Amino acid sequence: MEYYSLHVYTLPFARLVYLLVPQVFNMVFTPMSLLAEPGTRLPLMGNEAIARGVLEAGVYIVTGYPGTPSSEVIMTLQEYSRDLDIYVEWSVNERVALEVAIGAAISGARAMSTMKAPGLNVASDPLLSAAYSGVDGGLVVYVADDPGPHTTQTEQDSRWYGELAKLPLISPSSPQEAKDYVVASVELSEALGLPVLLRTTTRVSHTVGDVLLGEIKQPRKGRGFSKNPERFVRAGMDWNLERHKWLNSRLARVEELSAKLGLNKVIGAGELCIVTEGAALNYVLETVEEYSLSARVLKLGLLHPFPRGFILDNIRGCREILVVEELDPYIEQHLKTVLYDAGLFIPIRGKTTKHLPIEGELDKSIVLNALGLKQRDQPRSPHKTPRRPPPLCPGCPHRFTFLALKRAISKKGFKLSEVPVIGDIGCYALSVYKPIDMLWTEHSMGASVSMAMGLKLAGYDKPVVAVIGDSTLYHAGLQSLIEAVNKRVDLLVIVVDNGVVAMTGHQSTPAWSTSETGRILKPISLDELVKAVNPDELRIVDSYNYDELVGVFEEFIDKPGVKVVVSRHPCALLEARLKGVKTRYTVDVELCKGCKACLVVTGCPAIVMEGGRARIIQEDCNGCGLCTRFCPYNAIKQMG
């Protein structure tokens, strides 16, 4: 794939165009902002601020796997990588990303891994062992949670990972702190010899705020590695016990060190005390200011180990405590323990007392409500408006694949309601929405093939289809495929290969020959990998070849064994940006009868009905031509 030469076009909408490398566009830009002088104040998104923090902390190795809302840290750094002497590349999955970072950090290099919350689950195995071995160079594990949730399968609260892995965990409240906390994480990590978890939420990572820049440090590379099995070999049980004691002794020092870094703060004074952290702090501060409350706000930056000393130093004299935090009642539970141990009884309101909801993200009105206050202007009620769930893009190759599968299932005489389509994580999961309406499950990376296999083993007697994307297959799907082929189940596996990690903003996959930073890669062929697993059938089809897809699905769907169809076509959005759109389609209003067939079959978002006629939004059509197949009146025409 020759994506690289124009990789700058592969930025997501999320990416800030002004961060593009100027020499690639060969145009005059204002001085590159990520590398701006210390003392400059810039509007930066939380993740961009973290990217700057990486430079200010002297981090040398940055790895990760794309996942909203964490991806822009690596994407931003990659834009500057030519000017920076650092390694910043996507990994095949989060676990590998973290292991690479651990390997670097045990040699004294400063390292960071980035991931969304479910990614930390994938990386949790090396994380827990790394706590016992410790590190020499600072190691920051950046994980972004997603209260809401906006783009994540669960409302996971990764603060518990601090506790589970027995590692320090800190959590910033704003883009400024996000940057500063990277520097603090590295300092803390090196002072303790432990990896540090830097945890954010969507409203920190994806918020733009004004950020004051600090000094950029020389990246710290490895300094060698000497053999020390007691420390690094987890096969010795006596050693493990000793390392556990060592780990606990390290943890005991965290609070004192974090005090020096100023991670916890008291803001304001009063007998009403509010304990908070992360994005929630902002709703609290705005409320306190707007309603002139006399409140003592305890802002926690250190979440694990829970800052017992800071709490006890600052909680006395509180008449009551309100805990304002997102996701689980983490602070609330710890606070109760601390007060109980100290023999203090102060009423605590929070999630367990139902003053705040335990699901969804917070906002100011929820904080007001918890404080017994009313919003000044009562909002009017929303006007009921039909939802607009995100569809597959115009021209998306997945649309061809799913419509062909639908057709093949019907042609073979099966009902759509009896052939489960077990999905995976990626854009193709959007096929769950009407009118495509094909996906039955979407769980966790790589789970499609293995869950489909379980369904068959349990005795499901109709065909079962698993759909998985290229990047997801590399990430964790191959193992599932090995399992299915090895155990000889009957499955149709469709690998939808668009050549890119599309959903998170077009990042590279192991199939690329050059990475975003210009690094020359050895491409790992998806076809060869699948061949090596030796499924009973393998067919590779261009997704835009609808008739061929229908044919092969028909042929394979009820054949015994594992049949793999690689349905391959580049991501339409990326193609449009790389190469432009050569032809577009338009509706001839004279011929259109308003039957809606084009829309109700494809659900292409470039097609709308207006005044009883179909209309194609010109600049949105990516020219795939799929809709023309379904117009009974031949009203959709190619434009000149």
Partner 1 sequence: MVIRILIASVGGQGGLTLARVLAEAAVLSGLSVRTGETLGMAQRYGSVVSYVQVGSRVYTPKFTPGEADYLVGLELVESIRNIHYLKPSGVALVADEYRPPYTLSVENPFNTRDQAIELIKKLESKTIIIPARRLAIELGNPRAINMVMLGSLNAVSNIFSHDKVEQAVRKVLPARVVESSIKAYIKGYEYAQAIRNSFLA
Q: Does 12 bind partner 1 (CB under 8 A)?
A: yes
Q: From residue 515 to residue 554, what is the string marking binding to partner 1 with x (rule CB under 8 A)?
A: ----------------------------------------
Pick the binder of partner 1 from 28, 235, 458, 520 (CB under 8 A). 28
Our finding on whether 506 is near partner 1 (CB under 8 A) is yes
Identify the three-state secondary structure at position 307: coil
Out of 285, 311, 331, 439, which residue is the one contacting partner 1 (CB under 8 A)? 285
Q: Does 606 bind ligand SF4 (CB under 6 A)?
A: yes
Query: Which does residue 587 touch among ligand SF4, partner 1, none (CB within 5 to 8 A, set by kind)?
Result: ligand SF4
State which amino acid sits at residue 202: T
Q: Can you tell me which of 21, 96, 124, 148 binds partner 1, judged by CB under 8 A?
A: 148
Q: What angle do CA 477, 478, 481 make, to 5 degrees?
A: 90
Partner whose binding site includes residue 286, from partner 1, ligand SF4, none (CB under 5 to 8 Å by kind): partner 1
From 1, 6, 524, 617, residue interacting with partner 1 (rule: CB under 8 A): 617
> Cα(108)–Cα(102) distance, rounded to whole angstroms?
10
Does residue 581 bind ligand SF4 (CB under 6 A)?
Answer: no
User: Under the criterion CB under 8 A, does residue 632 sit at the interface with partner 1?
Assistant: no
Which residue in 108, 126, 168, 395 binds ligand SF4 (CB under 6 A)?
395
Label residue 113 exposed, middle or buried (CB < 10 Å: 0-12, 13-18, 19+). Answer: buried
Q: Which two tokens stand for residue 23?
A: 């020499």
- The token duo for 470 is 């290229």
Residue 293 binding partner 1, by CB under 8 A: no
635 binds, among ligand SF4, partner 1, none (CB under 5 to 8 A by kind): ligand SF4
Which CB sits closer to ligand SF4, 131 or 606?
606
| Amino acid found at 479 | Q
Nearer to partner 1, 215 or 619 (CB): 619
Interacting partner of 626 out of ligand SF4, partner 1, none (Cβ under 5 to 8 A depending on kind): ligand SF4
| SS3 labels along 90-109 | ECCCHHHHHHHHHHHHCCCC
427 binds partner 1 (CB under 8 A): yes
Taking CB under 8 A as the binding criterion, the range among 16-24, 118-126, 322-330, 544-552 that sits at the site for partner 1 is 16-24
Gap between the Cα atoms of 589 and 582, Å rounded: 22
Residue written as token pair 């669960």: 154
Contact 571, 598 (CB under 8 A): no
**Residue from 42, 128, 293, 529 binding partner 1 (CB under 8 A):** 42
- What DSSP designation does 426 have? S
Q: Check binding of 42 to ligand SF4 (CB under 6 A).
A: no
Binding residue for partner 1, selected from 465, 491, 503, 549, defined by CB under 8 A: 503
Residue 355, interface with partner 1 (CB under 8 A)? Answer: no
Question: Using an 8 Å Cβ cutoff, are 526 and 471 in contact?
Answer: no
Pinpoint the alpha helices (H) of 487-596.
526-533, 546-556, 572-579
Q: What tokens were used for 24?
A: 């690639």
d(CA 371, CA 350): 10
d(CA 577, CA 394): 13
69: partner contacted, choices ligand SF4, partner 1, none (Cβ within 5-8 A by kind): partner 1
Please tell me whether residue 300 binds ligand SF4 under the rule CB under 6 A. Answer: no
Q: What angle is formed at CA 361 by the lines to CA 360 and CA 363, rounded to 5 degrees?
A: 135
Closest distance of CB 521 from ligand SF4, Å: 32
Residue with token string 């400059």? 40
CB of 485 to partner 1, least distance (A): 31
Contact 170, 301 (CB under 8 A): yes
Closer to partner 1 by Cβ: residue 135 or 468: 468
The CA distance from 555 to 465, in Å, is 13
Q: Which of 624, 637, 639, 640 binds ligand SF4 (CB under 6 A)?
A: 624
Kind and range of the H or E run holding 455: helix 447-457
Binding residues (CB under 6 A) for ligand SF4: these are 394-395, 585, 587, 592-598, 602, 604, 606-607, 614, 616, 621-627, 631, 633, 635-636
